[in-house]
Structure 1
Amino acid sequence: MTLANDLATWVAERTDWQKDAVGRFCRNENLSEDAVNEIADHLIAGTYPSVAAITAADVPGTSESGESIRLSAVADVEGVNALITGQRLTFASKGLTIIYGDNASGKSGYARLIRQAVTARIKGDLLGDVFAKSVHDQKAVFEYVVGSTATTWALTQGTSRDLSSVRFYDEECGDAYVTTASEISYRPSALTLLDRLSAACDQVRQALSQRLSDNAALRMELPLLGEGTKAKQFLDQLSATTTREQIDEATTLSPDHDVSLSAKLRELTRLQASDLNAEKTRLAQLAAHWATVKSHSDQLAEAVTNQSFDNVAALAKSAIDLRGAAKIASAKNFDAEPLPGVGSATWRALWDAARRYSTTEAYHEHDFPVTTDDAVCVLCQQPLSPDGSNRLGRFDAFIKDTTSRDADAAERRVIQRRDEIARLQSAPAAVTTALSQLQAGGEDVTASQTWMTEAATVATEIVAWVDGTREERPTTSGVAPGTTIGERRQTLITASANIDSTSFNDSVRALKSEVADLQAAEQFAKAKDNLVKELVRLQARTKIEEARRLTDTTGITRKATALTTAYVTSIVRDQFTHETEQLYLRRVTLAPTKGRRDVTLQHRPRLLGAILDADIDDVLSEGEQTALGLAGFLTEVEFDESKSAVVLDDPVSSLDASRRSRVARRLAELARSRQVVVFTHEATFVNALNKAARDLGVDVAERAILRQGERPELTADKHPWSVKDIPSRINHLEAEIARLKKERGQLDSDEYTRRAQEWGGRLSQAWERVVNLDVVNELVDRGTNEVRPRMFKMLVGITEQDDNDYQSGYAKASEWAPRHDQAPETNFTAPEPDELEAELVRFKEWVRRIKGYKK
């Protein structure tokens, strides 16, 4: 997977606003203040629209098609710096295009225009003509080739994905590749998307923080409540999750609020005016009163329960049943017996005496009465006849039948229970007095009184049911208060027994707390409207805070670290080392930073093996930092698989001659595989580029940006004479001779003389330049004053003939040059083209021999 693919996959999993932001950065758009505020609004409202993720082709540094992007021309420029309109700056489709321009020629204007359209580590503002009296819209057309397809892009169209594959370098970018005050560090350009995303998170977070400040200013004025009160606790816990219902509940006063507050205030006043012994006695009396109430309550509870009623019902049913059975038993008639009074009390006594005699004396081994065939009557001592035996059996059955007696007993029990319940229909005077005393003492008797009233009603219904005046089963009352009363009584007993100065004071404090609770509740109720408004504010704040969490950069930092680790590998570091060594930089490598500043963990150049901890820009010279910046840029370019164009603006500022030559050769090497465009104002660097290109067989296209009077930015397809190297000057002189030959017949003597003298002057300058570059500079590098002893051997090769040719050729050219006024007596005649050509041949042959000596 490539860096672009990896990055695109990660972005696809981010939130919509971050996907959108990265998409904008891929199009080289910035987030305006309005855009940041719009993002913040959407995040707060949760309404950010769905956004499609970027693809690998969208990532800067990759063309949409994946093919090489080559610049063809920049034309139709308006409103950019002081560039004049109607110019067309072209670029060779391959090899090296060298664009020369003196200072203030407008070269930088074109460079900045290109920087605006392509990928650059640092993007500056593209200004118009600051001296113009009117402002013009900025326009420009870029002509370029994608693979083999020509296309165009206008500055007014927004960002071009294709042109983002073209990389740009200038001094500012070089600083960024090394380190600056903001610590912009070396990394593949695609990873700068994460830097920009982190910066965008900071911008949006700042906007949201401002909204939080605005929200805080809307905080409602709420009452100052006593510490520890329930209202204060609710207020302290008020948050966005609080509901309106909870506020309604917290601010609603109980129906007896005023009564309760008044009672507690009185009790507090009483306690504060009381003493320990009086309070001890008072509590004991209250406990006694509760005991009286509990006794009556327990009796009622036992009487009016379902079980109690079931028992009464069972007694009544038993009495009724027994009474019916008695009626049946009494229907038996003993009138036919020989003697009257059977069944009477006297008779029952006689029967009982006969039973005792039979079971203890006569027939102690048999149950009474004994009526077997040989039995004897225990009363008359006569054998029993069948009638006698039958009679004794009937007497025994009668005696055993107690139905009537049981019916009487059952009816008495029903009446007894009915009377017991009837007595509970009204509270005894002692109970009524106890309740009054308890109420006067501040005790809550409402629940107990209510229950006892309801229970007394149930008792009345039970009595009516027993009396037969009510058919419907009575409804029992609720849970009896006996347990609660008992607990309160015990609390009072304990409090009375344990009361001392500490517990008394605790009671006072507790009552004060209750009073404070009630008073705070009253304040809270009055502040309900402000509480609701504060809830709305807190809910809005929570949404802002939730939105702010979506700007966290932790995940971005982790991904940047992971991508940096994955793609800035040892291969990249090796390439970086290779680039630095080519530029005479030693002991410099790429290393991850130990911390993070505002954005992400990054890599940047570090000193290798340094003992002291020092910033690299405090150690390296200005020239070394320039070389280091170039090394970083060239490393990044080396790993661009699309082989798209590279544009550099004055890349050798602050470099010595030796490093300039190495940069020239490195750029020529780069131009073997891609289009390389170099803007420069230094003639020596132009010569170095030309030399390196010739050595490597790289095509060179000359372009120039010249001044036109006071106006800069006139483009040309040839370098001016002052920057041409020896081969270029020879070509120029040959072309001019050919034109002179062709036009000789049409030129008057003055025009021909002027052009011939100009040609002679340029040949003279060519002699000077070749001695300067190919002899003197080979022995001593004038940029570094380095003496090159090994090149002394070329002096040995120079012959007397070489010296004669140089003296003669340079003298002849100087004689023709227009630098001196020709004396009238010399009767100067301009040389003919053949004579000029002979001198050029002499020059070319001399140059060839001198170059041969260097080898």
Structure 2
Amino acid sequence: MILEWSPTRPLWQQDALKRIVTQGRVGPSDVDDLFQLCLKGQGKTGIILEAVPLSEADRLTRITAGGAVSLRSISNVKRANRLASDQTLPFAPTGLTIIYGDNGVGKSGYARILKRACRARFSTPILPDAIEGRGVGAASATIAWADEGVDCPPVQWTDDGTPHPVLCAVSVFDRESATVHVRDQNEVFFRPFGLDIPDELAAACLAVKEKLTLERDRLNKARDPVFQMPTFSQTSKVGRIMGSLRADTDLAPLRALATMSGEELERLARLSEDLAGDPVKAAAIERAWATSLDRFATDIEVILAETSNDAMAALLTAITEARDKRTAAQMAADAAFSTAFLVGVGEGPWRALWEAARRYSTEAAYPEKAFPVVGDDAACLLCQQPLNPESQARMIAFEAFITTDTERHALEAEAARDKAVDRLTAATVRFASFQHLGQLGIRAPEAAKLTRRSLAVARVRRSLGLTAARDGSAPTMPPMPGVVSVVLRDLAARAREYADELTLAASAEGRARLETECDELRDRKALNALLPKAVAEIVRLNDLDRVDRCITETTTHAVTRLGSAIADEVITPRVRDRFQEEIQKLAASRVRVDIVRNGGRFGSPQYQVRLFANAKAKVHSILSEGEQTCVALAVFLTELAMADRPSTLVFDDPVSSLDHRWRQKVAERLVEEAQTRQIILFTHDLVFLNDLQTLASRVAVPHKDVSLIQSAQGAGIVREGLPWVGQRILERIDNLEKEARAARDLFDAQDDEGYATAVATFYNRLRSTWERALEDVAFCNVIHRHRDYINAKELKKVVVLQPADIIAWEAGFKICCDITDAHDPSRGRNAACPPPADLLKHVQDLNTWIRLLKERQKHIV
């Protein structure tokens, strides 16, 4: 059934089922693994662990968590009521261990330790010593135990409120647990293989749910405070996205808003500043700034005009033309004046002389002839000498030089070049001259950068142009970065627009519009810090959604239904039949009750006791206290019958004086159970104790008697055996022999006072033992004081009592009465104490009397 049901569960639960089947239980490390597998099943990445589902191969491979657990001892008790810490409370390895003690001697302290360390329906906290005020912290003890009879390392137990994982196999029953059994509907704690699997799976689900709940709490606390107390506007684009983040929110629009231009940053700064002050004054400042920008643009235009592409091209052209024309003029001069004897030919003074000669020739000497006249009859205009052929050729060359005008063109080109150079020289580029450049860098960084680059390029161009004018080079001019004046005038226009907006901000509507824009820009600027928080929040929301889905998977409804199905088919009939067996053993037909299944919880079927006659009646209101004890004990033993291993049972005062009608039945049932498992019983009821001893001896069940007393050391002082009042005849005789020997030692040491006290105590006890022998031996336990029944089966053995036996009894009893300090002796007699040999003899007399009677009783069939 479980194997077929497993595939309907999430993978982590299938893995849990495999662990339960193969290991017997789910431990803390398994819960950690299942927690990780549960998260992985809902999409958590980075988990290497893989789920291994339950398979057919696991069907018969179950390994139990251990065998039958039995207890060996409790020792080293700390901070548990008033229990002394140096005591060891031993338990018989098998059979019945009876721990007897009066009220207040420490029985409840030891029982509480076992109720907290083992399994009990009801357990009360263990308090430190309330009387002495000693001990701070949790109670602790060393608990020795065995698995299938093999001693294991002792458990160093400290009370943490939960049963020990091994010792929880031991069950504790007391009056408080009995009330829970009768009144409440309870889970059957022990189940055979199959029914315990849903229970373990439900426990694993709850353990995983607990870890998931802690993880959910951690994630809820991990939410960034910025979402609780937003620093962003709720109405801005950023605020609307940040305020509505979900696990599936796309952050691309938010990332796009995080990118801001320099102008947007500058506008944010201006809006923040201006809205914090007087918008009207800010508008006036903006208009003044716009005017300054216009003037700045004009000044920049003037500077840049001298180094513009056209200006620099014209300069380089003028330099080239001047150079070329000067070269041409030089070549013409060289050709014309190659035969000249004097320096300065062709230059200014010479040209003036030549022009004067021209006027003289055309106006006076040779008015009808073209200048220069170089015929055979022509004479020099200055020296009046005839012209020889060489002179004639020189005159023709001079005129040709003058008429071609290369020199004039060269001069004109050089004049144009010099003018351009002078203009460029005057156009100095000094950054300090532009007083608004610094403010521009604050308000419009990009425009300021463009302006600075433009001025820097202009300065380089000017330098290259002047260098070219000096050396005639033809440099490559760096390109201008842009039209900065256009940018500046655009800034001026926007400043005027902003001034108009600020003017409108004097009204509420206009101010609200600017404040909205300011909020938008401010939130966008803050996105550099908010984006990581948004990313972390989406991760957190995804994790939270995953944990919530995982918590949904931990519900145990399906597991409870599985457990109920198994219980209905397998367990419930067995539980009801076994309960009827138990109630018959304890109460016969006097108590007509039944145990029925009443739903289930966390994978576990629940059972409740009901009356046959009236299923709706409250059992605890109808039954007597004794009947309730029988019913509760029957329920307790019924559920333990479902266990795979017969571990120890502990009973803490299971019956009270009100239960006397049922005491014998309870004792019989406990002795019967002691034949198959270790039984530990705490009691203050000597009648109940005697019943247990008698019944255990009758069926040869090993039993160990331990008593607890209180002393100056504290409570819970352990003594082997029972106190004198609870000891059986042979135990008393053995102790009397020991006391006689101890008294002899005092006699030999001549401690007269000590010997007298020992003798008085000895004969007190010897007298009570003669009385007990009359009850237990002579009358064969037919009648016991305070016992609620007569043992008529042994009455026939009473007939062995003879007159000589009565005489011997009276003699021994009289000796004790004469010596005991229970009677006040005569002051006149002051009799001496009997010698030590008499003490031993008188014990032997009692022992012989008992032995002879028992030998004769054996022959009575």
Partner of 1:588: 593
Report the CA distance between 1:723 and its aligned residue: 2.2
> Aligned in 2, Cα 1:791/1:658: closer, same or farther, shift over 3 Å?
farther
The answer (yes or no) to whether the contact 1:177–1:185 under 8 Å persists in 2 is no
Query: What does residue range 121-520 of structure 1 map to in structure 2 within 5 Å?
Result: 121-130=121-130, 131-135=132-136, 138-147=139-148, 149-155=150-156, 162-180=166-184, 183-188=185-190, 191=196, 193=200, 196=203, 200=207
SS of residue paired to 2:842 = helix
SS of residue paired to 2:828 = helix
Give the distance between the partners of 2:29 and 2:183, measured in 1 at CA: 23
Give the distance between the partners of 1:621 and 1:10, measured in 2 at CA: 47
Report the CA distance between 1:631 and its aligned residue: 2.0
Give the distance between the partners of 2:546 and 2:538, measured in 1 at CA: 13
Give the distance between the partners of 2:771 and 2:128, measured in 1 at CA: 42
SS of residue paired to 1:823 = coil
Give the distance between the partners of 1:127 and 1:15, measured in 2 at CA: 43
| Residue type at the aligned position of 2:673 | L
Report the CA distance between 1:155 and its aligned residue: 2.0
SS of residue paired to 2:662 = helix
Give the distance between the partners of 1:770 and 1:659, measured in 2 at CA: 27
> Aligned in 2, Cα 1:173/1:721: closer, same or farther, shift over 3 Å?
same
Per-residue CA distance 1:782-828 (angstroms, 9 max, x = gap): 476x7899999899997777766665554443333222222133443
Report the CA distance between 1:716 and its aligned residue: 1.9
> Aligned in 2, Cα 1:728/1:659: closer, same or farther, shift over 3 Å?
farther
Give the distance between the partners of 2:10 and 2:755, measured in 1 at CA: 70
Per-residue CA distance 1:46-73 (angstroms, 9 max, x = gap): 4789599999xxxxxx996744433322
Say yes or no: does 1:729 pair with 2:732.
yes
Per-residue CA distance 1:741-798 (angstroms, 9 max, x = gap): 78865564443433232222123333555667787995698476x7899999899997
Give the distance between the partners of 1:811 and 1:246, measured in 2 at CA: 113
The answer (yes or no) to whether the contact 1:177–1:186 under 8 Å persists in 2 is no
What is the RMSD of the two structures over their aligned residues, measured on CA atoms?
6.0
Say yes or no: does 1:631 pair with 2:630.
no
SS of residue paired to 2:633 = helix
| Between 824-833 and 206-215, the greater mean CA deviation after superposition | 206-215
Give the distance between the partners of 2:36 and 2:123, measured in 1 at CA: 24
The answer (yes or no) to whether the contact 2:191–2:642 under 8 Å persists in 1 is no
> Aligned in 2, Cα 1:630/1:602: closer, same or farther, shift over 3 Å?
same
Report the CA distance between 1:549 and its aligned residue: 0.3
Give the distance between the partners of 1:613 and 1:853, measured in 2 at CA: 57
Query: What does residue range 770-785 of structure 1 map to in structure 2 within 5 Å?
Result: 782=786
> Aligned in 2, Cα 1:578/1:818: closer, same or farther, shift over 3 Å?
farther
The answer (yes or no) to whether the contact 1:657–1:781 under 8 Å persists in 2 is no
Report the CA distance between 1:194 and its aligned residue: 6.2
Report the CA distance between 1:21 and its aligned residue: 12
> Aligned in 2, Cα 1:179/1:674: closer, same or farther, shift over 3 Å?
same
Give the distance between the partners of 1:51 and 1:677, measured in 2 at CA: 46
Give the distance between the partners of 1:851 and 1:580, measured in 2 at CA: 36
SS of residue paired to 2:670 = helix
Report the CA distance between 1:707 and its aligned residue: 1.0
The answer (yes or no) to whether the contact 2:650–2:680 under 8 Å persists in 1 is yes
The answer (yes or no) to whether the contact 2:675–2:701 under 8 Å persists in 1 is yes
Say yes or no: does 1:115 pair with 2:101.
no
SS of residue paired to 2:693 = helix
Report the CA distance between 1:546 and its aligned residue: 0.8
The answer (yes or no) to whether the contact 1:761–1:818 under 8 Å persists in 2 is yes
Report the CA distance between 1:592 and its aligned residue: 0.6
Give the distance between the partners of 1:70 and 1:705, measured in 2 at CA: 21
Give the distance between the partners of 1:54 and 1:97, measured in 2 at CA: 46
Partner of 1:452: none
Per-residue CA distance 1:404-433 (angstroms, 9 max, x = gap): xxxxxxxxxxxxxxxxxxxxxxxxxxxxxx
Partner of 1:705: 708
> Aligned in 2, Cα 1:238/1:688: closer, same or farther, shift over 3 Å?
same
Report the CA distance between 1:584 and its aligned residue: 1.0
| Residue type at the aligned position of 1:582 | K
SS of residue paired to 1:129 = coil
Partner of 2:623: 620
The answer (yes or no) to whether the contact 1:668–1:693 under 8 Å persists in 2 is yes
Runs of 5+ unmatched residues, structure 2: 55-61, 257-519
> Aligned in 2, Cα 1:152/1:741: closer, same or farther, shift over 3 Å?
same
Query: What does residue range 554-703 of structure 1 map to in structure 2 within 5 Å?
Result: 554-565=557-568, 568-584=571-587, 586-593=591-598, 595-596=599-600, 599-600=602-603, 602-653=605-656, 656-703=659-706
Partner of 1:95: 95
**TM-score between both structures, scaled by the size of structure 1:** 0.52
SS of residue paired to 1:71 = strand
Partner of 2:13: 14
SS of residue paired to 1:716 = strand
Q: Which one of the candidate residues 755, 759, 762 is aligned to 1:759?
A: 762
Per-residue CA distance 1:279-333 (angstroms, 9 max, x = gap): xxxxxxxxxxxxxxxxxxxxxxxxxxxxxxxxxxxxxxxxxxxxxxxxxxxxxxx
Give the distance between the partners of 2:76 and 2:53, measured in 1 at CA: 32
The answer (yes or no) to whether the contact 1:791–1:854 under 8 Å persists in 2 is no
Give the distance between the partners of 1:135 and 1:200, measured in 2 at CA: 30
Report the CA distance between 1:552 and its aligned residue: 0.9
The answer (yes or no) to whether the contact 2:72–2:145 under 8 Å persists in 1 is yes
Give the distance between the partners of 1:733 and 1:27, measured in 2 at CA: 56
Give the distance between the partners of 2:620 and 2:121, measured in 1 at CA: 18
| Residue type at the aligned position of 1:14 | Q
Report the CA distance between 1:26 and its aligned residue: 5.7
Partner of 2:824: 821
SS of residue paired to 1:77 = strand
Per-residue CA distance 1:694-742 (angstroms, 9 max, x = gap): 1111222222222112621222222211222344334433554566578
> Aligned in 2, Cα 1:110/1:53: closer, same or farther, shift over 3 Å?
farther
Partner of 1:552: 555
Per-residue CA distance 1:154-210 (angstroms, 9 max, x = gap): 325998655344333333433444344xx4344427856567557657756876887
The answer (yes or no) to whether the contact 2:106–2:709 under 8 Å persists in 1 is yes
Report the CA distance between 1:123 and its aligned residue: 4.9
Give the distance between the partners of 1:53 and 1:535, measured in 2 at CA: 31
> Aligned in 2, Cα 1:807/1:92: closer, same or farther, shift over 3 Å?
same
> Aligned in 2, Cα 1:795/1:141: closer, same or farther, shift over 3 Å?
closer
| Residue type at the aligned position of 1:168 | V
Partner of 1:80: 80
SS of residue paired to 2:717 = strand
SS of residue paired to 2:186 = coil
Runs of 5+ unmatched residues, structure 1: 56-61, 226-231, 250-524
Report the CA distance between 1:99 and its aligned residue: 1.5
SS of residue paired to 1:81 = coil
Give the distance between the partners of 1:52 and 1:734, measured in 2 at CA: 71
Give the distance between the partners of 1:740 and 1:11, measured in 2 at CA: 78
> Aligned in 2, Cα 1:571/1:36: closer, same or farther, shift over 3 Å?
closer
Report the CA distance between 1:581 and its aligned residue: 1.8
The answer (yes or no) to whether the contact 1:63–1:642 under 8 Å persists in 2 is no
The answer (yes or no) to whether the contact 1:74–1:143 under 8 Å persists in 2 is yes
Per-residue CA distance 1:202-225 (angstroms, 9 max, x = gap): 756876887899899979999999
Matched residue pairs, number? 564
| Between 536-545 and 208-217, the greater mean CA deviation after superposition | 208-217
The answer (yes or no) to whether the contact 1:626–1:655 under 8 Å persists in 2 is no
> Aligned in 2, Cα 1:238/1:670: closer, same or farther, shift over 3 Å?
same
> Aligned in 2, Cα 1:132/1:570: closer, same or farther, shift over 3 Å?
same
SS of residue paired to 1:568 = helix
| Residue type at the aligned position of 2:596 | A
Identity within the alignment, %: 25
